Structure 1
């Protein structure tokens, strides 16, 4: 079928085309049930019958869904419609890094380039911690939301050719090269063993392009580009842009070293070295040892600010999604087979929770995992008398949502379970009635990102038998639960 403006695809109404690449085309599309716009990526029709291409497309969805990080694009949903595969991602207004580079140094000065590099490095290091490699780092796969009243929001996207770190393959099954030649590490081109330092090399190429406006090896033929990556020394950005501190020459030389052992050990280490070079006076140069760069990289990680993961287009209002006036759940969106023994919980809250554990629900709640009473992971296939499902929020305002349900459907009565209560009230909506409490609690000894901080807490209880065997516990919004009541509860699809 043709995917054009005004048509419906997999329940989404196509609003406009955002762009296309080797794997498919991305559209702005209206969500089937919620009043929001998603970015819908549809498999290329020309490659729809290619088993290898379909496998790569599905791998992108699976990898992106499991990698939850402020600097990585998150997947909302995925599926197949009339033989064509698709992925739905959050959409807000923004551009990719290629566009910023095109605008020139008046828009992308060295300080901004280093800030963008640091956020992209954090996302890539998270990929590597998960045992994966990106393998196609380039400006087109780094998305930037420009905010006039604050710093840019930067996210890495497009995991279509990502593989496990122990997968040494460089070529696709058909023998064609998978990565983009202008940013490919020598070991990718030469068929050698590839690890995270290939992504460091590509990120170094990207930094060079941000600083100079040019790819590292501008040549007239693919063969000459390949030869340059394999044999020519890394270019010196200060020769192309004399206003740069010469310390950036050392940074690029290290990042683009021919041998992986001679490069920075991580993308964060590269970002730390770039930040140090930025503070060096123009015309001077200094080499930094590996340990100093590691210390600086750790400082960058501590200073990182969490923001929700998104897919960026070039239009739309970018507003957070809100629930319909009728809050009644719609069970058709849930995939019971994906939830195992916890399917009844997902079916009880189908618009709140994602359709599958690694999808995205209300306000991007995602990565849902079953826990026991000690907070340790259980299997989704294990039936338990009291089920606890722990899901991550997007941090704005929710850090986590925990759903606790009695498997025998015996009621859970209102009884707040946190230290400081700021308020409570009986609630009534078209879907039913119940009670909410809100307040705060100091978390300690949990072994999670909540440890050692006071967080806002909101708990929701239900009167109607279809949901009174469950309760919700929502954590986030700083040291008070009032923010959760105003920004989460007010439009929660319950």
Structure 2
């Protein structure tokens, strides 16, 4: 507390993970609270006595610098976008041997926390309001040929007061470092990652349809309380039970919503909606299917505050729906089942244990792990 990073005064640590630290800080120039994210991978680097960050050894330097370049590229990428449901980066710089990015200090709950507070399943109108903002934000990214590839309930924050969803950071540096140093099961969230993220294959390109799958998995958790089976296991022996055929869910949710989730969870890339525009159409978010209005969400009395650009703090109740407009499209991907199965069959055992563990968690409706501070 009281330390300075550039012109910003650090007021507290919001959170610390294996790949970085998020601070709350004061911007004296514009007189506002901001969040600062510091690149600090604990497995590769250390903070020295003078405050500088350095690789643990020369052996770690190449991976440390590769991750830092990815961190910088992510900051540049986020700074290009301007959408109310996309994380905004004000600026970034290099100092003390590492890199920092400055973001708005968001207050609210992650979608993971909001779903935990509603164990009986999300209200359909509330869920569609969130999907409206998230699909628009992802469509903006996709139009620039950028894909998130880490959509999960803990990577969507619902802002205090308005309930507006904001898609959090991509974790690009985390993926690059993990790719170099650890197993594939650490990189991916079982249940949310589509099969094309498990193997680099020419006929299994990642694209807008990759984020479509992950977002459909988020909706699956919201209505059923659990994540779908891991995609790589489904490819070999599909145990997925269509939501549209579930009589209990049909009593609570429209056929259009359940069918859209089922379609988005097509195990092969070409069997899903190929863009956010197609997913929005399936959800009925275009063509006047939802009413355009803005309505603030009431906040529970006595709730604690304190979520930064990468975290959560104040709990909010579920607001009524609001809708805006649509954008973006992407080209379809093609895949060959036999080739995919051969490439990923060895990954089934690696993710099966994680899936069964996820199915039994008390907080299953909340998603797979928290990545808000890394």
Q: What TM-score results when the alignment is normalised by the length of structure 1?
A: 0.49
Counterpart check, 1:206 vs 2:206: no
Q: Could you say which residue in structure 1 is the equivalent of 2:264? A: 255
1:20-169 to structure 2, matched below 5 A, reads: 20-46=16-42, 47-48=44-45, 49=55, 50-105=64-119, 108-147=122-161, 152-161=163-172
How big is each residue's C-alpha offset from its partner over 1:312-364, in whole Å with a ceiling of 9 and x where there is no partner?
65459xxxxxxxxxxxxxxxxxxxxxxxxxxxxxxxxxxxxxxxxxxxxxxxx
Contact 2:121 2:223 in 1 (8 A): no
Q: Could you say which residue in structure 1 is the equivalent of 2:319? A: none
1:318-329 to structure 2, matched below 5 A, reads: none
- Structure 1 pair 233–196 and aligned structure 2 pair: CA distance change class (3 A): farther
Contact 2:265 2:272 in 1 (8 A): yes
Determine which structure has the larger strand proportion and give its number: 1
Contact 2:89 2:104 in 1 (8 A): yes
Output the CA distance in 2 between the equivalents of 1:92 and 1:98: 16
Give 3-state SS (helix, strand or coil) of 1:198's partner. Answer: helix
Output the CA distance in 2 between the equivalents of 1:106 and 1:40: 36
1:321-400 to structure 2, matched below 5 A, reads: none
Q: Could you say which residue in structure 1 is the equivalent of 2:361? A: none
Structure 2 runs not aligned, ≥5 long: 46-54, 56-63, 295-307, 315-374
Contact 2:195 2:231 in 1 (8 A): no
Counterpart check, 1:8 vs 2:17: no
- Structure 1 pair 300–76 and aligned structure 2 pair: CA distance change class (3 A): farther
RMSD: 3.2
- In the alignment, which of 287, 297, 319 is matched to residue 286 of structure 2? 297
Deviation at 1:242, TM superposition (A): 5.9
Counterpart check, 1:311 vs 2:318: no
Deviation at 1:176, TM superposition (A): 4.6
| RCO higher in structure (CA 8 A, sep ≥6) | 2
Output the CA distance in 2 between the equivalents of 1:265 and 1:172: 26
Output the CA distance in 1 between the equivalents of 2:74 and 2:170: 5
Contact 2:193 2:214 in 1 (8 A): yes
- In the alignment, which of 169, 172, 179 is matched to residue 179 of structure 2? 172
Output the CA distance in 2 between the equivalents of 1:110 and 1:300: 13
Q: Could you say which residue in structure 2 is the equivalent of 1:244? A: 252
How big is each residue's C-alpha offset from its partner over 1:282-319, in whole Å with a ceiling of 9 and x where there is no partner?
xxxxxxxxxxxxxx5365799597xxxx9365459xxx
Q: How many residues align?
A: 273
How big is each residue's C-alpha offset from its partner over 1:424-455, in whole Å with a ceiling of 9 and x where there is no partner?
xxxxxxxxxxxxxxxxxxxxxxxxxxxxxxxx
Q: Could you say which residue in structure 2 is the equivalent of 1:270? A: 279
Q: Could you say which residue in structure 1 is the equivalent of 2:209? A: 197
Output the CA distance in 1 between the equivalents of 2:288 and 2:18: 37
Q: Could you say which residue in structure 2 is the equivalent of 1:181? A: 190
Larger radius of gyration: 1
Deviation at 1:27, TM superposition (A): 1.7
Give 3-state SS (helix, strand or coil) of 1:132's partner. Answer: coil
1:365-444 to structure 2, matched below 5 A, reads: none
Contact 2:216 2:265 in 1 (8 A): yes
Deviation at 1:22, TM superposition (A): 4.9
Give 3-state SS (helix, strand or coil) of 1:190's partner. Answer: coil
Structure 1 runs not aligned, ≥5 long: 163-168, 218-223, 276-295, 317-494
Output the CA distance in 1 between the equivalents of 2:273 and 2:132: 14
Deviation at 1:15, TM superposition (A): 2.0
Deviation at 1:76, TM superposition (A): 0.9
Deviation at 1:115, TM superposition (A): 1.0
Give 3-state SS (helix, strand or coil) of 2:283's partner. Answer: helix
How big is each residue's C-alpha offset from its partner over 1:456-488, in whole Å with a ceiling of 9 and x where there is no partner?
xxxxxxxxxxxxxxxxxxxxxxxxxxxxxxxxx
Output the CA distance in 1 between the equivalents of 2:164 and 2:105: 13
- Structure 1 pair 231–9 and aligned structure 2 pair: CA distance change class (3 A): farther
Output the CA distance in 2 between the equivalents of 1:254 and 1:274: 10
Q: What TM-score results when the alignment is normalised by the length of structure 2?
A: 0.64
Deviation at 1:33, TM superposition (A): 2.7
